Structure 1
Amino acid sequence: MERRIDFSHQRHMLCGGCDHRFVVGLDWIDRWEQGGEKCLGCDLTGEHEDAPRVTVDPDDPALDDGRVAQFFWYHTSTQPDWPSRAFDPASGFTPEMRMRMGGVERVAAWAARQRAKALHVGTYEAAVHNMLRRMHDQADDGCQFYLYRVHLKPSVVVRKGWLIDPSDFVGDVVLGEFCPPGTDVARYLNYHEDPGGLSLALGRGAIDKVQQIAIPLSDAWDRDWARESVAALENASEALVPATGGLGRFMPPCSPRADLSRDLGRGLAADLPINLQSQLVSAVAFGEGADPVRWAKQASCLLSLIVDPSPVLVMLDQQERREV
């Protein structure tokens, strides 16, 4: 069952100081995070430990235990076979690496801990946001990403209620700490991707089937924007120009073509929700010597994942469901 996709939907806030609940847009949250807004109930500002934080919409249909397994859930990954049946986190270790880790038993224990970590699935919005964040923060901009539509087993047992995002600083969750015996899935409030939305921490055994496509779609691009952008880039010089200003000596030289590409990227992202703009600009960064045609097509295709998800959903509908 598909839920309505809306990257700009309003978010619920809950103040820890006065328990006031209110609904705001992403622009308000952006201003609040920069100290430009206060709690609508008690005037607490963002730096206070009890300041308002994004919370779950009480009408979110995923709060209904019986409907969790009915919904489509999503995940983005650079792995072409996620979640792999034969997942072996130590498969690429050389004998030297295994020795440095303490030998066979230590490596086996480490691998078991890795396999005990939960998988994460969420809304379509959270999956796309996750991909852009990885391109922005983890230098995955040159990698091929895959979008997975996840179908849970109808028999899964869902932990009651929901949790604050239990991930550690690298996003890991040990499943057994949050899914007690007899439960398969734990809902948690996602703070970072689709803020306020519910995501799931679960084990491989909770997944029935997945559908998969490579993203972005190669033909979902704005040809007029791409043509105009390519013409502008091809007319811009590729000659490297040293940076100026007080910090210029610490910065690499940059070409007028690369400078123009950043302006084009900012223009492309200008109408997106505020929490996605910098991620898209970073994701479409233009490397020196890059092909303008390929760059413009890729940038436009990435944008289309957000502004018009319908071709993606149609493509997913056409894919076979792979058993996990």
Structure 2
Amino acid sequence: MERRIDFWRERQMLCGRCGHRWRVDLDWIDRWEQARETCPGCGVTCEHEDSPRVTLDSCDPALDDDRVAQFSWYHTSTQADWPTRDFDPAAVLTPETRRLMGGEQRVSAWAARQQAKALHVGTYEAAVHNMLRRIRDQADQRRQFYLYRVRLKPSVVVREGWLVDPSNFVGDVVLDEVCPPGADVARYLNYYEDPGGLSLALGRDAIASVQRIAVPLPDAWDRDWVRDAVAAFVGASDTDTPVTGKLVRFTRPPSSRTVLGRELGAFLAGRLPVNLQDQFASAAALAEGEDPEQWARRTSGLFHLIDDPTRVLAALDRQDPREV
């Protein structure tokens, strides 16, 4: 069962000081984070420790325990076989790495901690947001990403209620800490990706099957935009602009093609929700020497993951589910 995908939807805010609850759009949140808005109830700004934060929408259908397993959930990863069967994090360690880690006993303890981590799935919006964040923050721009649609086992037991995002500073969650005995899935309020939406922390045993596509789709791009973008590159130099002055030995300015790529990417970013614009602009950066047509197709494809998810869902529908 699919839920309505809406990257632009309003979010609900809750003030930790006065308890006022109200709805806002993403532009209001952007102004709020710049201390240009205040709580309508008490006037507090974002600088205060107990200031308002995005909270869960009380109408979120995933609050219904019986419906959690009926919904489609999503995940993005550079792993082509997520979630990996018989996951062994120590398998890729070299003898030298094992020695530096302190020997086999410490390697085994480290591997057990890795295997104890929960998997994360969320809304379609959260999965796309996660991919863009990784491209910007983890230098994954040139890696192939995959979008997974996840089906849960009908028999899963959902932990009662929901949690505030339990992830640590690197995004990890220990499954046993959020899923008490008898529970397979824990819902949590996602602050960072699709803010205000519900995501799930769960183990591999809670997943029935996944469907996978590579993103962006190879044929889901705007031909007119790509044609115009490629035409704009004609005549643009792929060599550095001459530099003069005292910093000439230390400064390597971008080529005119790179600057043009930034401008074209920024144009598309400006048509997206404000909370995705910086991440998209980073993902759309043109690498030095990159083929302009390949760049334009990839960038347009990334844009349409957000602007028109229907083709993405149709591509997933054509994939045979893989049992986990």
TM-score, structure 2 normalization: 0.97
Alignment-derived partner of residue 56 in structure 1: 56
Please say if 1:88 is aligned against 2:88: yes
Deviations 1:84-132 (A, max 9, x none): 1121111111111111111111111100100000000000000000001
Alignment-derived partner of residue 303 in structure 1: 303
Contact 1:11-1:196 at 8 Å conserved across structures: yes
Deviations 1:250-292 (A, max 9, x none): 6532111111111111001111000111111100111111100
Alignment-derived partner of residue 10 in structure 2: 10
Whole-Å Cα distance in 2 between the matches of residues 80 and 92 of structure 1?
16
Q: Do the aligned partners of residues 98 and 56 (structure 1) sit closer, same or farther apart at CA in structure 2, a change above 3 Å counting?
A: same
Whole-Å Cα distance in 2 between the matches of residues 250 and 176 of structure 1?
51
TM-align CA RMSD = 1.5
Whole-Å Cα distance in 1 between the matches of residues 290 and 133 of structure 2?
22
Deviations 1:15-66 (A, max 9, x none): 0010000000000000000011000111100010111000000010000011
The total of aligned residue pairs comes to 324
Deviations 1:152-201 (A, max 9, x none): 01111111111110001110000101111110110000001000000000
Q: Do the aligned partners of residues 217 and 39 (structure 1) sit closer, same or farther apart at CA in structure 2, a change above 3 Å counting?
A: same
Contact 1:262-1:281 at 8 Å conserved across structures: yes
Contact 2:149-2:210 at 8 Å conserved across structures: yes
Shift of 1:246: 10
Whole-Å Cα distance in 2 between the matches of residues 53 and 243 of structure 1?
46
Please say if 1:262 is aligned against 2:262: yes
Shift of 1:245: 9.6
Alignment-derived partner of residue 200 in structure 2: 200
Which secondary structure state, in structure 2, belongs to the residue aligned with residue 136 of structure 1? helix
Which secondary structure state, in structure 2, belongs to the residue aligned with residue 282 of structure 1? helix
Whole-Å Cα distance in 1 between the matches of residues 161 and 318 of structure 2?
34
Contact 2:233-2:292 at 8 Å conserved across structures: yes
> Partner amino acid for 1:59?
C
Alignment-derived partner of residue 140 in structure 2: 140
Deviations 1:216-253 (A, max 9, x none): 10001111111111111122112202568999876532
Whole-Å Cα distance in 1 between the matches of residues 73 and 281 of structure 2?
26
Taking the TM superposition and a 5 Å limit, the aligned residue runs for 1:224-243 are 224-241=224-241
> Partner amino acid for 1:4?
R
Taking the TM superposition and a 5 Å limit, the aligned residue runs for 1:52-131 are 52-131=52-131
Q: Do the aligned partners of residues 59 and 243 (structure 1) sit closer, same or farther apart at CA in structure 2, a change above 3 Å counting?
A: farther
Q: Do the aligned partners of residues 300 and 23 (structure 1) sit closer, same or farther apart at CA in structure 2, a change above 3 Å counting?
A: same
Contact 1:234-1:292 at 8 Å conserved across structures: no
Which secondary structure state, in structure 1, belongs to the residue aligned with residue 281 of structure 2? helix
Alignment-derived partner of residue 33 in structure 1: 33
Q: Do the aligned partners of residues 249 and 303 (structure 1) sit closer, same or farther apart at CA in structure 2, a change above 3 Å counting?
A: farther
Which secondary structure state, in structure 2, belongs to the residue aligned with residue 151 of structure 1? strand
Q: Report sequence identity in percent.
A: 68
Whole-Å Cα distance in 2 between the matches of residues 69 and 33 of structure 1?
35
TM-score, structure 1 normalization: 0.97
Alignment-derived partner of residue 183 in structure 1: 183
Whole-Å Cα distance in 2 between the matches of residues 323 and 227 of structure 1?
41
Contact 2:133-2:279 at 8 Å conserved across structures: yes
Contact 2:240-2:252 at 8 Å conserved across structures: no
> Partner amino acid for 2:63?
L
